Amino acid sequence: MLGRRPRIGLIEMDQKLRTLGKYTLVRRLAVGGMAEIYLAEQEGPGGFKKKLVIKQILQSFAEDENFKTMFQDEARLVAQLTHPKIAQLYELGEIEDSLFIAMEFVEGVDLQEIVEWSKENNRPVPFDIAAKLMIDLMEALDYAHDFTHEGVPYNLVHRDVTPHNVMVSNDGVLKLLDFGVAKALANQSKTQAGAVKGKFAYMAPEQVQNAQLDRRVDIFAAGVVFYELLCGEKPFGDDLAAIVNVVQMPTPDPRQKRSDVPAELVQVVMRATAKDPNDRYPDAHAMVVDLQNYLRQVGAFIGDRDIAAFVREMQGIPLTRGSGPRQTVSEAPGPLKTDSAPMSTIATPPPSVVPDYKTPSGTAGIAAPQLHSSLGEVGGPSTAELPQLGGNEGPRSNTEAISLQDSSTRKIFGVFIVLFFALVLASGALIWVYVSKKSETVEPAVAVTKTTPEVKPKTKTPAVETAFRHANGDIVSFHSTPKAKVYFEGEMVGETPFSTNLRKGSYTVTFKTDKKSIDKTFEVKELINSVSVKF
């Protein structure tokens, strides 16, 4: 709930804006099990203003010293965690017996809202988007699980990994929230005996049975979250039903709800949600590896900008600069350099890379780099090929100015330069006349054929690629049951499941297996699109 975009039904403050120390409470976002959540602002000199979230302990718990100690334990733990995928804690404060923490404000949606939007709009979350979100979540958990301070492991377990506690910002950055029920297995105050914390639908069997916990309960919960992202519903039901089902019922195959879920992702879900902790992933990083391998196999390269496009489409927010789908360098616009380009264009370096060499004070002459640049434009020799002038021994450096000691030498040098350029220009003219006359006796077709011998073979494949893929296009995911190769205009463009970027418009592709093929026509109309067939 931290930093969630306000929706209808959120509690508005029924009093004038009030302050809590240096923070102004703008709006109450929600009331949790142990605290009130406020959107707040911090102001400073020079128009400084920063949004943040204040989590203030409920007054009904204010006099409970045990609860207060637990709250302080939470703040101390979270304050030590510094990771881009974990919401940052700024301050723990206490004013007039009011205990609070100031935390990072995340403007976006949580995973629960993504699941609900997907169901309401009949738009399943694309597999590559779901996999990327889970990679980010597992990286955050992996960091927290292995966190040490001054060489001492904290053995942190979140214990409340749910869609509500995973935010995705409008810029596509995932943030894990609320370590309020996290437990350091060493050196933390004990909570009420027998109390089961968290939400039942995401609890591992050992958590429901109040047994000893370790990081693998978070892996189980993450597996349940992944199932929900893929299928749009929880695998074990809600609340009390989940308590029984999570212990007794095997995890249902996600393909029972969504038939085209890739086998690789099914395996991730099933392993993460195994009943026996020893059958699960041993740590979060192992699950990250399997998810990354899946994305590599399908050729999907998903980044924060792709997630941002998905999140912003959900909320009807226009894409901002830097938030669009990914763009590859190879397709970036730019001048095409060919063998027929003018020599001056090729030989003359851009001004930004030409050093500003200056002749030292008290000397006369021409800087060697300047000679090189001038001669290069007419195809003359480089400075390394120029004869050494003035009787100096040994080669000169490129940055050393040619210096002559007296006026007579300078005059001789000047005459030599003039004669040298005259000879170069005269030679160029003679060569031009010779070539011009010779070209009159040669068939033009021969010259043209030699300059472009292989234009057609080289451009055939890129032409198809350009027609089908576009770096700034919308995301399109292709799926089939069973796997199939996808062809566009006779060229194979991928093997399901995979994703690419296409311009808006109508396309016809062919899905082919060893035994059958299906033509599929589809429209690219949205930022996120899905095309699937079943043989």
Note the pLDDT of residue 320: 59
Long-range contacts of 405-412 (CB under 8 A, 24+ apart): 410/364, 410/365
Mean pLDDT of the chain: 74
The pLDDT of residue 292 is 96
Given a cut of 90, is residue 34 above it in pLDDT?
no
**pTM to 2 decimals?**
0.60
Average pLDDT over residues 347-360: 39
Return d(Cα 398, Cα 382) in angstroms, integer: 10
DSSP assignment string, 275-290 = SSGGGS-SSHHHHHHH
> Domain 108-187+197-315, what fold?
Transferase(Phosphotransferase); domain 1 (1.10.510)
How far, in Å, CA of 260 to CA of 263, rounded? 9
Cβ atoms of 51 and 90 within 8 Å: the answer is no
Q: What is the pLDDT of residue 386?
A: 39
Cα 448 off chain centre by: 47
Portions of the chain given CATH number 3.30.200.20 = 18-104
pLDDT of residue 529: 78
Superfamily of domain 18-104: Phosphorylase Kinase; domain 1 (3.30.200.20)
Long-range contacts of the stretch 429-434 (C-beta < 8 A, 24+): none
Is the pLDDT reported for residue 132 higher than 90?
yes
Domain with CATH 1.10.510.10 in the chain: 108-187+197-315
Q: Is 117:5 a contact under the CB 8 Å cutoff?
A: no
pLDDT band at 417 (very low <50, low <70, confident <90, very high): low
C-beta of residue 174 within 8 angstroms of C-beta of residue 167: yes
Q: pLDDT tier at 517 (50, 70, 90 boundaries)?
A: very high
Q: What is the pLDDT of residues 460-511, one digit of tens each?
A: 333 344 567 776 677 788 888 888 999 999 999 988 888 788 888 999 999 9
**pLDDT > 70: what percent of the chain?**
64
Tokens of 419: 């004669």
Active site residues: 160
Q: What is the pLDDT of residue 372?
A: 36
In this predicted model, which residue has the larger pLDDT, 80 or 194?
Answer: 80
